[in-house]
């Protein structure tokens, strides 16, 4: 079977866009969560904090493309540029038909949807609706814009399972390469911070409320005080290649994609089940031909919800026992939605390279199953790591990476 590797990385996040510097910020305990004043202007919305991207310059994207792009697409296109540069991938090969794009978002742009429907509902007319509105609203807006900007003529696909998108994208990319349908895949996810995103979690009683006086203390994954999701934004992209082709062109291999597993709880749309999470992890281990003892670190999804974190901890205890170190990165970044998995993949690559397990920010008093939750950066050889993401609808996606 063709082996699958990661050769390039690109990131736009609340803590910056330089992957190494962002990992430094994680180890230093920095948070990208801040007060978001616009949230307070919405009646009955409890959210007051979020993790926005700052300092992003959309003008670096040519206007002929930018005019139909939402903010999250701009993030994705920028992260793709950095990933391609990181991989030193030949630009003249992007249109060969052997390059694919697998990238998605939770929905089309929430801000564009709000703009579109506000104009229509207030006027009962389409007169004021922009001709590019649908191009920002459509569910495959991230993937199609990446393909357009970089001239990709091969397979284009847009997974849409919210928090699981980036892991799904890399899993699909690995399958495309294993099956010989592509030699390289641009894979990842993007989302934007929006009132509508925060409202979604608020309505289902899963969103963090208040804390505007100390935003950096939320979310608090696995902690007894945890009280919900903090929405964030950004984009994360990886360049996934067939190993021999990457080596033949002299690429630097950052990680190998060893296994991928997915499952569906099929029990409840918003309340997760440990059994489904465990099934995804076991399937990724089986796909990689590994056992739980082969995994040196687990990067948890853990968003800071009471039910979700507890269920995930139980699932990890069943699979790994109490010795394998586990941490969540949501305390640093908030929940980047479709981009969270890709961001966590990049942090796992850095963790393997440096031999350091990042701790969970805002974890003071854990009240979950007895898994190993280091409070400080933990030096350790990390030959293989697992990173997990779980989405509404009971969608579970587990990915195993190996150090090259």
Domain residues of the chain, as ranges?
Answer: 4-248, 258-402
What is the model's pLDDT at position 76? 98
Average pLDDT, the chain: 97
Residue 244 has pLDDT above 90, yes or no: yes
What is the model's pLDDT at position 404? 92
Using pLDDT thresholds of 50, 70 and 90, give the confidence band for residue 127.
Answer: confident
The residues that are catalytic are: 163, 301, 335
- The C-alpha torsion from 40 through 46 and 50 to 55, rounded to 10°, is -20
Judge whether 4-248 and 258-402 match in fold: yes
What is the model's pLDDT at position 258? 98
CATH class in words for 258-402: alpha beta
Distance in angstroms (rounded) separating the CA atoms of residues 47 and 26: 24
Query: How buried is residue 264: exposed, middle or buried, by Cβ count under 10 Å (0-12/13-18/19+)?
Result: middle
Per-residue pLDDT tens digits for 340-369: 999 999 999 999 999 999 999 999 999 999
CATH of domain 4-248: 3.40.47.10
Percent of the chain scoring above 90 in pLDDT: 95
- Sorted by sequence, the CB contacts under 8 Å of residue 290 that are 6+ apart come out as 258, 259, 384, 400
Using pLDDT thresholds of 50, 70 and 90, give the confidence band for residue 97.
Answer: very high
Tokens read off for 106 = 């939770």
Task: Give how far Cα 3 sits from Cα of 189, 216, 307, 347, Å.
Answer: 23, 41, 37, 22
Per-residue pLDDT tens digits for 14-40: 999 999 999 999 999 999 999 999 999
Strand order in the sheet with 234-242: 156-157, 99-104, 184-191, 234-242, 4-12, 255-264, 395-402, 384-391, 297-300, 326-328
The model carries a pTM of 0.97
What is the model's pLDDT at position 1? 80
Mean pLDDT, residues 250-257 = 98
Mean pLDDT, residues 379-399 = 98
Per-residue pLDDT tens digits for 228-241: 999 999 999 999 99
Residue 120 has pLDDT above 90, yes or no: no
Per-residue pLDDT tens digits for 34-52: 999 999 999 999 999 999 9
């Amino acid at each position: 079977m063709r082996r699958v590797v990661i050769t390039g990385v690109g990131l736009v996040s609340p803590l910056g866009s330089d992957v190494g510097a962002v990992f430094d910020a994680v180890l230093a305990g920095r948070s990208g969560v801040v007060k978001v004043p616009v949230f307070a202007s919405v009646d009955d919305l409890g959210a007051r904090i979020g993790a926005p991207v700052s300092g992003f310059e959309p003008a670096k994207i040519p206007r002929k493309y930018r005019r139909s792009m939402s903010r999250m697409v701009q993030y994705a296109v920028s992260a793709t540029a950095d990933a391609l540069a990181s991989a030193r991938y030949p630009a003249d090969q992007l249109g060969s038909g052997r390059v694919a794009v697998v990238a998605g978002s939770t929905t089309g742009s929430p801000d564009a949807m709000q703009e579109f429907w506000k104009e229509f509902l207030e006027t009962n007319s389409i007169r004021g609706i922009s001709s590019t509105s649908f191009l920002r609203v459509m569910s495959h807006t991230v993937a199609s814009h990446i393909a357009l900007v970089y001239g990709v003529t091969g397979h284009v696909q847009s997974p849409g399972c919210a928090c699981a998108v980036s892991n799904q994208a890399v899993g699909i990319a690995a399958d495309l390469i294993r099956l010989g349908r592509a030699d390289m895949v641009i894979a990842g996810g993007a989302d934007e911070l929006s009132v509508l995103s925060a409202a979604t979690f608020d309505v289902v009683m899963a969103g963090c409320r208040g804390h505007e006086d100390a935003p950096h203390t939320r979310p608090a994954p696995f902690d007894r005080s945890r009280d919900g999701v903090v929405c964030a934004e950004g984009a994360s992209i990886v360049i996934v290649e067939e190993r021999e082709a990457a080596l033949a062109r002299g690429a630097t291999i950052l990680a190998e994609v060893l296994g991928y597993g997915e499952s569906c709880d099929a029990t409840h749309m918003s309340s997760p089940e440990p059994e489904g999470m465990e099934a995804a992890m076991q399937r990724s281990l089986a796909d990689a031909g590994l056992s739980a003892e082969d995994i040196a670190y687990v990067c948890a999804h853990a968003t800071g919800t009471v039910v979700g974190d507890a269920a995930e901890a139980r699932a990890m205890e069943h699979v790994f026992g109490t010795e394998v170190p586990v941490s969540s990165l949501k305390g640093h970044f908030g929940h980047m939605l479709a981009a969270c998995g890709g961001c966590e993949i990049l942090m796992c690559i850095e963790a393997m390279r440096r031999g350091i397990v990042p701790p969970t920010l805002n974890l003071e008093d854990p009240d979950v199953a007895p898994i190993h939750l280091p409070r400080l950066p933990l030096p350790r050889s990390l030959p293989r790591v697992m990173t997990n993401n779980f989405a509404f609808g009971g969608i579970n996606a587990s990915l195993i990476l190996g150090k090259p």
